[in-house]
Structure 1
């Protein structure tokens, strides 16, 4: 959570930056002090303290302090450790699992319910009005996009996934107001995805980006779902990032399913019954 605040600091207004620096200087004290004292120590107004919390992706001061207290007191029990060429099988097993667990716990502490809620509302609006829902990603993120399309398809939601840059640009060119596109990227710096996101947004579609904080893509979408982790891009295949993105898609799909409500149950039951013949007894 503190890394996320540090990365976002330069993009905030000067007054909000002062609040951010106070958080970074003594997070434990920030989590326990009343808003009047926080405003006084930051030399800002009380509304500015609340605006800071919302600018970094939280519902307000209470939500921010709750997540901050959890992050500081609990922390993440594992430190990201790279897999080395001389690692034994047991070492690889422990490192991969520990890195994944650490990333999931960090996301639990850092995630913005407000941003997720905005994404869910946008997806539901597109669904209820019969507009298009699309998922874009390349490489490993392209696989996540396909998984997202599969999950939403099972909910009876017409959607499509594209992992080819040309198809993404062409499809983005056909999107319009009310349509929704989810752009998934580990680095947030892929040119094809940036181009497609810009085109979709220019045409009036709602753009949801699942990517790293402070990346170009993070600032290009309407709604940013931060997916931050310490995994580098230069060694082996991205592991933690893909699993983190899949979990975020699971959260979105679950929230959307719950909002659609009871009418989903007969559909899912019929689908399950129709698939019985595909399995050995």
Structure 2
């Protein structure tokens, strides 16, 4: 909820921005204070406080305060960080979508373009020299690795995805200079992925981590594409983190496609034509 408010801040009217900043400065106090005191502290009218709550998608101040208390506490373990046990279907829809949108906007504003450029350059260089490009992930991240392999395969980039720890270690053992290993992890502390990353790096391959900042995996790889979202890896299902990883893969694939250049267009067009027979008209 607080991330949604932060992401929405630039689009709010100036008076409502003051209310938003009051929430962000002390959410717990905001949930306890009466509307008169909130209006005084934000230097706005009482109707403006209510309008802000409605701008955020809530029925009014009482509904906003109720959800705010849940947001700054624990949420629903193993389900979703922003969802409360008593939420209605409409609340769940708004929270899940808004939480994902806020994470995307936060990533757009905070992402390191230099790191993305380094990663895209490394993958493009491996492609040009005919070297190997491999994607490693376990669990949910293994599915993201498969999606990455599919994206790059369509670009004519020969790559594989491995989600089994033994396969990852064997695959990393075969890597060498000018190869690339992209390791995807929510927590950045999965033992199998750490082992594969260490082996790939020692063999001279470029290692690219898509994971949380400050994690062991982020520190062990040469290039780190930060995927940061306040989702407890031990308590909540990695919904938004997974979407963020997919987004980063899309950005990376698009950057590599631009480096491949115009020669890619005829191939993609031919692929599209060849697939027409697979669809009902």
The question of a shared fold, defined as TM-score above 0.5 by the shorter chain, is answered with yes
Deviates more, 1:132-141 or 1:77-86: 77-86
Match of 1:11 in 2: none
Match of 2:112 in 1: 112
Match of 2:82 in 1: 82
Match of 1:260 in 2: 260
What is the deviation of 1:92? 1.1
What is the deviation of 1:204? 0.4
CA deviations on 1:85-143 (whole Å, 9 max, x unpaired) are 33221111111111101111110111001000000110011000000000000011000
1:93 equivalent in alignment to 2:93: yes
1:192 equivalent in alignment to 2:192: yes
Match of 1:231 in 2: 231
Tell me the TM-score normalized by structure 1.
Answer: 0.71
Gaps of 5+ in 1: 1-76
Match of 1:152 in 2: 152
Match of 1:168 in 2: 168
Question: For the residues of structure 2 that align with 1:97 and 1:82, how far apart are their CA atoms?
Answer: 10
Gaps of 5+ in 2: 1-55, 58-67, 72-80
Question: For the residues of structure 2 that align with 1:226 and 1:163, how far apart are their CA atoms?
Answer: 21
Match of 2:241 in 1: 241
CA deviations on 1:210-242 (whole Å, 9 max, x unpaired) are 000000000000100000011122344211000
Question: For the residues of structure 2 that align with 1:143 and 1:216, how far apart are their CA atoms?
Answer: 21
Question: For the residues of structure 1 that align with 2:85 and 2:164, how far apart are their CA atoms?
Answer: 32
Match of 1:18 in 2: none
Question: For the residues of structure 2 that align with 1:168 and 1:86, how far apart are their CA atoms?
Answer: 42
1:126 equivalent in alignment to 2:119: no
Tell me the TM-score normalized by structure 2.
Answer: 0.71
Match of 2:218, SS state, is coil
CA deviations on 1:138-185 (whole Å, 9 max, x unpaired) are 011000000000000000110000000110001001100010010000
Rg comparison, structure with higher value:
2
Deviates more, 1:266-275 or 1:79-88: 79-88
Match of 1:202 in 2: 202
Question: For the residues of structure 2 that align with 1:90 and 1:139, how far apart are their CA atoms?
Answer: 29
Corresponding pairs, count: 205
Match of 2:24 in 1: none
Question: For the residues of structure 2 that align with 1:154 and 1:170, how far apart are their CA atoms?
Answer: 25
Question: For the residues of structure 2 that align with 1:138 and 1:103, how far apart are their CA atoms?
Answer: 22
Match of 2:250 in 1: 250
Match of 1:72 in 2: none
Question: Where do 4+ consecutive residues of structure 1 move more than 4 Å?
Answer: 77-81
1:273 equivalent in alignment to 2:276: no
CA deviations on 1:15-65 (whole Å, 9 max, x unpaired) are xxxxxxxxxxxxxxxxxxxxxxxxxxxxxxxxxxxxxxxxxxxxxxxxxxx
